[in-house]
Amino acid sequence: MESPATVPALHPLDAATTLEALSDDRFQGCIPPAYANFIGPFGGVLAACLLRAPCMHERRLGDPLAITVNFGGPVAQTPFEIHARPTITNRSSQHWALELHQDGSIPLTATAVFARRRETWSAQEAARPEVAGPGHYPPIDSRDLPAWVANYDIRVISGGMSFLADSPRAQDSSETLLWARDLPARPLDFPALLALSDVFFPRIFVRRPTFVPVGTISLSTYFHADAGELADQGDAHLLCRARGKRFHNGYFDHSGELWGAGGALLATTHQVVYYKE
C-alpha cells in the first residue's frame, strides 16, 4: 500500500498571514505567538495580513503599489477580522480601505493602492550601498529579543542597537545597514516584502544606549518592483538601510530602503514612531 502524500508544511510567514474568506469583503486571521513583539504581534506581519486581504479579493486590480498602516491600539493574539473594500477603481489603479476588527474595536486601519504597470521609460537614481555580501556578517542572536526576530535571518553591517553592544554608548547617527530575509528562506512576494520593511530596529535604540518603550504609529511602504521582479529575487537576502531624521518630544521618523540582489530598489518605507522616557 502506498503511503499517503505528505502535505508540505506552510512557511511560518504564510501560516501567520493565512486568511479565511468570510464574505467578499471580510477575512479572518490570527497571528501565532511565534510573531509576538513586546506588546501584541509584530507590526510587519500585521501589515502583511492587511495587504493579503486585497491580494485575495476577487475585484483586485494589478499589484500593490503603496500601503499606509495606522496603528491605533494593541492587537491581541486572538482571531480578528479584516474588512477590505475597494473605494475607487480606475483604468490602471485601484484604491482600498482596510480595517482590522477585534473584540468590538478597530485597532488598525490602512489604505492601499494597487496598480497595473505598463512598459515605459524607467530609471533608478538611488544607488545601492557598496557592502560585502551577507556571508561576511554573522546573524544576530535573537534569544533575548522578541519572538518575531527568530523568523528572520538578520545580519547587521553597521548601526546595531546600542544597548546590546559590549560597551553601550550613544551614537551620533541612527543609520543602520543590514542584510535580511525570512527564516527559513522563502521566495519573496509582496506580503513578505512588506513585513521585511518593518524589520529595522527602532532608530532610538541605535542612537541611545538605553531601552525605552516605543511603538509604531504609522507605517507607509512603497513598492517599486512588480511581481515578476520579486519572483526573480527568489529567496536571496535583501540589503536594507534605514535612518531617522528627527527625534522630538516623544516621536521620531524613520526612512528605509530595501534593495534586491541584482541592485534594484524594491521598496522604500517610512514610519512615525512613539517613544517614552
- Tens digits of residue pLDDT in 258-271: 999 889 999 999 99
Q: What's the rounded Cα separation, in Å, for the pair 277 and 258?
A: 30
264: amino acid identity, one letter? A
Cβ atoms of residues 182 and 236 within 8 Å: no
Give the mean model confidence (pLDDT) for residues 118-124. 93
Amino acid 169: pLDDT: 80
Q: What is the mean pLDDT of the chain?
A: 94
Amino acid 39: pLDDT: 87
pTM to 2 decimal places: 0.94
Q: Which domains are seen in the chain, by residue range?
A: 12-116+134-275 (2.40.160.210)
Cβ atoms of residues 159 and 177 within 8 Å: yes
60: amino acid identity, one letter? R
pLDDT at 125 over 50: yes
Give the H/E segment covering residue 206. Answer: helix 203-207
Q: State the pLDDT confidence band at 3, using cuts at 50, 70 and 90.
A: low
Amino acid 1: pLDDT: 47
Q: What's the rounded Cα separation, in Å, for the pair 181 and 120?
A: 30
- Which residues neighbour 236 within 8 Å (Cβ) at sequence distance 6 or greater? 181, 260, 261
Helix (H, G, I), strand (E, B) or coil at 247: strand
Amino acid 185: pLDDT: 97
Q: State the pLDDT confidence band at 166, using cuts at 50, 70 and 90.
A: low
Q: What's the rounded Cα separation, in Å, for the pair 19 and 226?
A: 23
263: amino acid identity, one letter? G
Q: State the pLDDT confidence band at 210, using cuts at 50, 70 and 90.
A: confident
